[in-house]
Amino acid sequence: MKRRIFKLAGFIALFTVLNVYGTTPSKVQRLTSPDGKIVVNFKMTDGKPTYSVQKSGKTIIKPSNLGFVLERNDSLNSGLEIIKVSKSSLDETWKQPWGEEIQVRNNYNELKMSLKEKNGKQRKFNMVFRAFNDGVGFRYEFPKQKNLNEFQISDELTEFALAENDSAWSIPSYKGVYYEMLWKKDQLSKKDTVTTPLTIETSDGKYILLHEASLIDYAKMNLFPVKGSSTMKADLTPWSNGIKVYAKSPMVTPWRTVILADNLNQLANARVMLNLNEPSKIKDTSWIHPAKYIGIWWGMHMGKYTWSQGPKHGATTKNTKAYIDFAVAHKMNGVLVEGWNYGWDTDWVANGDKFSFTKPYPDFDIKEISKYAEKKGINLIGHNETGGSTINYENQLDSAFRFYKKYGINSVKTGYVNPLLDKKERHSSQYGVRHYLKVVETAARYNIMIDNHEPVIPTGLQRTYPNLMTQEGVRGQEYDAWSQDGGNPPEHTCIVPFTRGLAGPMDFTFGTFNFNNPVYPKTRVQTTIAKQLALYVVIYSPFQMVSDLPENYEGNPAFEFIELVPVDWARTIILDGKIGDYVVTARKDKYSNNWFVGAITDENARKIKLKFDFLEKGKKYKMKIFKDVSDSDWKTNPYAIKIEELEIDSNTVIDLSLAKGGGAALYLKEL
């Protein structure tokens, strides 16, 4: 037994290693979480490995398969023995450069087993399990070895044999694009192949979340029910030739994660995914900071402007300067500009390889604009729509980021609108995964932050690359501009915080104040104004867009909340909610003792009792409430809003009435 104590600046790590040599390790290995509640049992039965998970004595995951099928149907999941076992523990606290909370505790017990084929090629791989108090992570490691050097994975056999056939929220993996679908709830056994995160609601009111962490140079994991059962099996997104992963030892797979939460607050605050990503590779993060931004953007979606050249071109020097002025006047620090570069003038989805990322249109004077932005203290957010042509983008990546750095552009929104990358490969394949990381790594070298649209679903890589600020991978507010089905139904935003949102920040882009849609009159934002405000608290992103046209905000007193709301937080609490029905979220500002609360509901009006017992005892706050009025209704009366002030403390309890599709946004200023 070796015991070492590290004391590093700001955190304490306790690390214990137990190695078992000399004896044949037992075929059954057990791992418990630090609080003893979660138990993982690993078992070798006739040379086949399985694992199971229990919490508080209840079986959550029954014995489930592990292993692989390699090329030519060569299985790597049988004839195995455990040749070595080691155990270790860690309890450290690390600090996020930005996030939903500042400090993250990383406390786990680890069990690592080396497995080897008894006969034949005697190939080896390790199974690593980590048990946290809020869940479990496990992954496969392939040490360097002669008989498993370069290889192709045809199938990952990982299963999650859920003990109960509970209902879960999911979107299908291969029907639809970019994860831009509406989440549906049904029983596990009835699912199609679905994407993760998969949020399971148990019959006793608890939650199980299946997802992954640290997706690097591998394919995204999807899940499907095995033969109509509640056993969910991994399905890796393939390359166009059917191969799932091109591998070379030594290598590790992403972590498979199982979060076990007793309530929504625990679910939203579980940090298993972030903890299973490597610490930041960016040593100096002083250039990385969250932003509240407006953009030459909604105007394109509303038909007022075009991305392409012509009489309605949006990204002009004059227009951009006006947006910069608006941002300054209303306490924002970022301005996004889309349609500034050559490539938009033909069918850009079909001709993504024609985009230039360094050549501005003649009416966009980048020199003048960047000087103006700098003088006004505004960060310009560049836009790189690729039309899915990653080859064209990668060829220009260095020159483009060098060009932006020269002009002080410290953030870039990337985009991949095309059902396939380079007309061939899926966004969530190993091909896509490699590309996205290449962009983030290259951007980091030029001190550029990334907002990635049409991504592979996030897996916590922002811990390792904190310049990966936010991503789309969600049916966002743009669907309220042009979706033929009328827009996002009111329940959508009551679902995504506990599904896609648990995979990482979402660039959803709310903030609409004008619900008329000149292009598709039957499509619109299905909320009240108060709900638009509340979304700034409920849906997390360190880059938060103020998405409407400047003229739609002018003179509206409700806009004050958007000016006030921060985008970086010290703490987050889910005060109340039910997935798909309503959500009440409280967040504490990172730079003051002020709190913000957002409450939203679906298509049903509802009354909620709001207790402020999360506030520090004895402290007084001046609270400003932006709320629906008695006859507010997203359909018939979305604009009415009431703004009220009152003094409160931790003993205060208030009744809030949320209208159909409505909400309430609360600003609590410490007195």
Contact 277, 213 (CB under 8 A): yes
For ligand NOJ, the closer CB: 179 or 536 = 179
For ligand NOJ, the closer CB: 288 or 336 = 336
Q: Quick one: tokens of 185?
A: 């709830």
Catalytic residue among 478, 491, 560, 603: 478
Measured between alpha carbons, how far is residue 289 from residues 9, 379, 440, 491 in Å? 22, 11, 15, 31
Q: Is the peptide bond before 419 cis (omega within 30 degrees of 0)?
A: no
Least distance from ligand NOJ to the Cβ atom of residue 305, Å: 11
Look up 478 and say whether it is catalytic.
yes
d(CA 39, CA 133): 10
Contact 49, 117 (CB under 8 A): no
Contact 98, 470 (CB under 8 A): no
Q: Quick one: tokens of 35?
A: 């609080």
Least distance from ligand NOJ to the Cβ atom of residue 510, Å: 13
For ligand NOJ, the closer CB: 475 or 587 = 475
d(CA 600, CA 155): 42
CB burial string 460-493: b at 16+ within 10 A, e below: bbbbbbbbbbbbbbbbbbbbbbebeeebbebbbb
Amino acid at 65: N
Neighbours of 362 (CB within 10 A): 11
Neighbours of 235 (CB within 10 A): 21
d(CA 39, CA 54): 5
Specify the 3-state DSSP secondary structure of 506: strand
- Strand 231-236 and strand 159-162: pairing? antiparallel
For ligand NOJ, the closer CB: 211 or 301 = 301
CB burial string 120-140: b at 16+ within 10 A, e below: eeebbbbbbbbbbbbbbbbbb
Least distance from ligand NOJ to the Cβ atom of residue 454, Å: 7
Residue that has been written with the tokens 């008695």 in this structure: 630
For ligand NOJ, the closer CB: 455 or 460 = 455
- Strand 642-648 and strand 621-627: pairing? antiparallel
For ligand NOJ, the closer CB: 125 or 340 = 340
Least distance from ligand NOJ to the Cβ atom of residue 53, Å: 37
Least distance from ligand NOJ to the Cβ atom of residue 348, Å: 8
Least distance from ligand NOJ to the Cβ atom of residue 180, Å: 8
Residue 36 CA from chain centroid, whole number: 29
What's the CA dihedral at 380, 386, 392, 398 to 10 degrees? 20
Amino acid at 117: E
Name the nearest CA neighbour of 117 among 86, 154, 145: 145
Least distance from ligand NOJ to the Cβ atom of residue 549, Å: 14
Residue 115 CA from chain centroid, whole number: 33
Contact 597, 586 (CB under 8 A): yes
Specify the 3-state DSSP secondary structure of 35: coil
For ligand NOJ, the closer CB: 237 or 509 = 509
For ligand NOJ, the closer CB: 182 or 417 = 417
Q: Quick one: tokens of 382?
A: 């560049």
Least distance from ligand NOJ to the Cβ atom of residue 219, Å: 23
Least distance from ligand NOJ to the Cβ atom of residue 124, Å: 44
Q: Which residues, other chains included, contact 614 with Cβ-Cβ below 8 Å and sequence gap of 6+?
A: 573, 575, 586, 595, 650
Q: Residues in the site for ligand NOJ, rule: CB under 6 A?
A: 297, 338, 385, 415, 417, 453, 472, 478
Least distance from ligand NOJ to the Cβ atom of residue 212, Å: 23
Name the nearest CA neighbour of 195 among 504, 417, 499: 499
Least distance from ligand NOJ to the Cβ atom of residue 470, Å: 12
Neighbours of 9 (CB within 10 A): 5
d(CA 35, CA 363): 62
Q: Which residues, other chains included, contact 643 with Cβ-Cβ below 8 Å and sequence gap of 6+?
A: 557, 558, 560, 624, 625, 626, 627
What's the sign of the alpha-carbon dihedral 176, 662, 528, 637? positive
For ligand NOJ, the closer CB: 417 or 640 = 417
For ligand NOJ, the closer CB: 508 or 559 = 508
For ligand NOJ, the closer CB: 225 or 415 = 415
CB-side exposure of 274: number of CA atoms within 13 Å? 28
Least distance from ligand NOJ to the Cβ atom of residue 176, Å: 14
For ligand NOJ, the closer CB: 117 or 472 = 472
Name the nearest CA neighbour of 117 among 83, 76, 80, 85: 80
Contact 121, 80 (CB under 8 A): no
For ligand NOJ, the closer CB: 472 or 576 = 472
Which residue of the chain is nearest ligand NOJ when measured via CB? Answer: 385
d(CA 35, CA 53): 15
Least distance from ligand NOJ to the Cβ atom of residue 50, Å: 42
What positions carry a catalytic annotation? 478
